[in-house]
A = this chain, B = another copy of it.
Amino acid sequence: MAKKMKATCKSHPDIAFIKYWGKADPKTRIPQNNSISMGLSNLYSVCTIEFGPSFNQDTIEFLNEKIVKEEELQRIIMVLDRVRKLAKTNLRAKVVTKNSFPKGAGIASSGSGLSAVTMAACWALRLKLSRIELSKLARLASGTACRRIIDGFVEWHKGTNSNNSYSVQLFPPDYWQIADIVVIVAETMKKVRSTKGHSLADTSPFQKVRLKNIPAKIKAIKVAMKKKDFTVFGQILESEALNFHTIALTSQPPILYWEGTTMEIMKRVQEWRDQGLESYFTIDAGPTVHIICQPKDVQRLKKRLKTISGIQRLSVNYPSIGARVINQHLF
Contacts and interface: CB of A to CB of B under 8 A. Distances in A.
What is the total number of copies of this protein in its complex?
2
Q: Is the interface of A mostly helix, strand, loop or mixed?
A: helix
B259 A263 contact: yes
A249 interface: yes
A177 interface: no
Contacts of A270: 256
A239 B258 contact: no
The contact size tier of chain A is 20 to 34
A243 interface: yes
Contact of A250 (B239, B252, B267): B239
A264 interface: yes
A63 interface: no
Contacts of A258: 263
A266 interface: yes
Given A205-B210, A206-B209, A260 B249 contact: no
Contacts of A232: none
Contacts of A267: 256, 259-260
Contacts of A256: 263, 266-267, 270
Contacts of A206: 205-206, 209, 246
A285 B238 CA distance: 21
Interface in A233-292: 238-239, 242-243, 245-246, 249-250, 252, 254, 256, 258-264, 266-267, 270
A213 interface: yes
Nearest to A249: B242
Contacts of A252: 239
A264 to B, nearest CB: 3
Contacts of A261: 260
Given A239-B252, A256-B266, 19 more contacts: A205-B206, A205-B209, A205-B213, A206-B206, A206-B246, A208-B209, A209-B209, A238-B254, A242-B249, A242-B250, A242-B254, A245-B246, A246-B246, A256-B270, A258-B263, A259-B263, A260-B264, A262-B263, A263-B263
What are the 8 A-B residue pairs with the smallest beta carbon separation, nearest first?
A260-B264, A246-B246, A260-B260, A263-B263, A206-B206, A242-B249, A260-B263, A258-B263
Interface of A: 205-206, 208-210, 213, 238-239, 242-243, 245-246, 249-250, 252, 254, 256, 258-264, 266-267, 270, 310
